[in-house]
Amino acid sequence: MKAIIYTRYGSPDVLTLAEIEKPVPQPHQVLVKVRAVAVNAADWHLMRADPFLVRLTNGFFGPKNQVLGLDIAGEVEAVGRDVTTFQPGDAVFGEIGHGGFAEYACVQAKSLLLKPANLSFEEAAALPVSALTALQALRKGGIQPGHQVLINGASGGVGTFAIQIAKQLGAEVTAVCSSGKLELARALGADHLIDYRQENFTRSGRRYDLILAVNGYHPLWAYKRALKPQGVYMVAGGTMGQIFQALLFGSLFTLGSQQKMGGMLAEMNQDDLALIKGWVEAGQVRPVMDKIYPSLADVPEAIRYIEQGSAKGKIVVRVGEE
């Protein structure tokens, strides 16, 4: 089968289209014929070993998992002997950890769900990592109905889901993004819009119950200033420096107060993904598609695009016969 592989860390130039062995499902696994795969920031962080700590888990001198790609949608080709929830021909989607930039992928059955009937394979592949990140970050931030929630970086993959999910959870949402993306945020349900080039929300005097930072930068003390006395700042994206800053120093900035500052990494959770799927099937949440690349050979270009940080929604690569 064809796959995009990398044997050393570096720029998208290290990615090559190669012929590799087709995987065989273990007892609890499903073999999926991949029809579409999403591109995420995690892919380029792993590709570049950025931050350096990536090497501690993915191989110090070179990647032990040579096929990237976290989110897939496709058709079940075969199932392991202990799998009873799927059968060949089922259309499925899920978050698989690695291995999605290939024509076939072996996946734990617990990491998959049946694809929403009202989504294409490309749209279904756009869901798992970004939507789970948005849901779990909002939940960890203690979101409640009526809360004032600000989403910094509201027009990217996670941000577009965060607007919609926060509205589903009953919050009043302020979306922060560039001027050309404000109307998208409004269409997704944002109650208030801020063009970050025109206004610094940390100096506006308005306070929020929850600030979700997906992209964009302000120092911790500025975010703290924009929180209510019991407010929560949660970082779920941006640069590694921003994420580590929140994880390492967030608790220090809130000593002696009831505010909280921290970060999170999303985890595959079948129940959470099922909740998101239900919203999607009800027409209450939808993936925003920026670009769909036509073939596996386009993965390096797709990663170059997402590294620029200007995507409006999700980037997906279509997989099929070359």
Q: What value does the mean pLDDT of the chain take? A: 92
Closest of 4, 8, 3 to residue 59, by C-alpha: 8
Q: What is the pLDDT of residue 240?
A: 60
118 pLDDT band (50/70/90 cuts)?
A: very high
CATH 3.40.50.720 in the chain is located at: 130-263
69 pLDDT band (50/70/90 cuts)?
A: very high
Q: What is the pLDDT of residue 43?
A: 93
CATH 3.90.180.10 in the chain is located at: 2-127+287-318
Instruction: Say whether pLDDT at 242 is over 70.
Output: no
Instruction: Say whether pLDDT at 244 is over 90.
Output: no
Which residues lie closer than 8 Å to 50 by C-beta, 6 or more apart? 44, 240
30 pLDDT band (50/70/90 cuts)?
A: very high
Token reading at 28: 């609890």
2-12: per-residue pLDDT in tens? 999 999 999 99
Q: What is the pLDDT of residue 255?
A: 66
Share of residues in the chain with pLDDT > 90 (%): 78
Query: How many of the other CB atoms lie within 10 Å of CB of 62?
Result: 14
Candidate CATH numbers 3.40.1410.10, 3.40.710.10, 3.90.180.10, 3.30.750.24; the one for domain 2-127+287-318? 3.90.180.10
Which residues lie closer than 8 Å to 223 by C-beta, 6 or more apart? 202, 211, 213, 233, 261
Instruction: Say whether pLDDT at 249 is over 60.
Output: no
Assign 3-class secondary structure to 111-122.
Answer: HEEECCCCCCHH
Positive or negative, the CA dihedral 217, 219, 220, 225 is negative
Instruction: Say whether pLDDT at 322 is over 90.
Output: no
Question: What is the per-residue DSSP string for 124-191?
Answer: HHTSHHHHHHHHHHHHHTT--TT-EEEEESTTBHHHHHHHHHHHHTT-EEEEEE-GGGHHHHHHTT-S
**Residue found under tokens 């949402």:** 173
Candidate CATH numbers 3.30.420.40, 3.60.40.10, 2.30.30.60, 3.40.50.720; the one for domain 130-263? 3.40.50.720
Mean pLDDT calculated for residue range 95-122: 96
Distance (Å) of CA 155 to CA 70, 83, 163, 191:
21, 38, 9, 14
Q: What is the pLDDT of residue 250?
A: 61
Token reading at 134: 């948005």
Give the integer Cα–Cα distance in Å for 15 and 11: 8
Q: What is the pLDDT of residue 241?
A: 61
CA neighbours within 13 Å on the CB side: how many for 98?
16
Token reading at 10: 């570096």
